[in-house]
Amino acid sequence: MKIGFIGLGIMGRPMALNLKGAGHEIVAPERASLTAEMRQAAIIVADAAAAAAASDIVVLMVPDTPDVEQALFGAGGVAAGLRPGTLVIDMSSISPVATKQFAARINALGCDYVDAPVSGGEVGAKQASLTIMVGGPDAAVARAMPLFQAMGKNITHIGAENGTGQTCKVANQIMVALNIQAAAEALVFAARAGADPAKVRAALMGGFASSRVLEIHADRMINGTFNPGFRIRLHQKDLNLALSAARELGVSLPNTATAQQMFSSVTAHGGADLDHSAMVKAIEILSDYSLLSREAIDGKEPS
């Protein structure tokens, strides 16, 4: 199939290349940020409308709700180029409420809409091992499934109503944030108590505390390697979705709120574009102890 792909960033680029590797043609709008590899792999057209007009299916992978709205309905956007019967798949992580509204507008053009946010980060995108959480009508999801199988491993159709995939992704981001916070606290505690955090991590990997966060992000914390990955500012956006929805639903998310404050602390110190594993920096600041250097941040030995 011809796949229009909008959003060829850290996540989108390897996802599109995996689709290319599965035998699909990729059509992408012109952007100064396109890599040489992407220019060679894709058919480059003027804008998102032209990409939609040339494609059987359009995939979006952009950062936030306003970005999806602009890509779909802005000047030169996807909606302007859609032909009846085209399938639109939004794999961004955005508001479930806005997703329902976007789907209704696309449906009115005679096209199907599927929301399919992902988890797994840059590593999962490159390895085609993403977890994909899908919301949308059965027939549309069945049509999208070959694409999902080229990009991910754990693919779950959450519900036939648009927005259910996005709701699942918000729940995912709550879990991931709290796991990152737990790993950060555990490692800073262990290191300050005199244990080797790398050996503590190895031991925990064999027990009930084992997780993908412990496997990947705890290693980043120990080594101080915070190149994204998944940027803190994007995880903050997702937790804002969780907390605003929780207010509407009357649900209490106290630990989610705390995790958001930890991210805000790192952002206040210039870390908005670091990988979200850099939440450990907030724990280090509060503890006045650096996991990487194994000494007090202010240069004084903690009492």
Q: Which residues are marked as active site?
A: 169
Spatial separation of the C-alpha atoms in residues 238 and 201, rounded to whole Å: 27
Q: Are 113 and 78 in contact (CB under 8 A)?
A: no
- For 96, 166, 239, 248, 257, the CA distances from 171, given in Å and listed in that order, are 12, 9, 9, 15, 14
Task: Report the alpha-carbon distance of residue 258 to residue 253 in Å, rounded.
Answer: 9
Task: Check if the beta carbon of residue 99 is closer than 8 Å to that of residue 245.
Answer: no
Residue 157 pairs in a beta bridge with 134
Place of tokens 């280090």: 284
Secondary structure element (H or E) that encloses residue 74, with its range: none
Q: How many other C-beta atoms lie within 10 A of the C-beta of residue 264?
A: 15
DSSP string, 185-226: HHHHHHHHTT--HHHHHHHHTTSTT--HIIIIIHHHHHHT--
First to last CA, the chain: 64
- Give the integer Cα–Cα distance in Å for 279 and 282: 6
- Distance (Å, rounded) from C-alpha 194 to C-alpha 166? 42
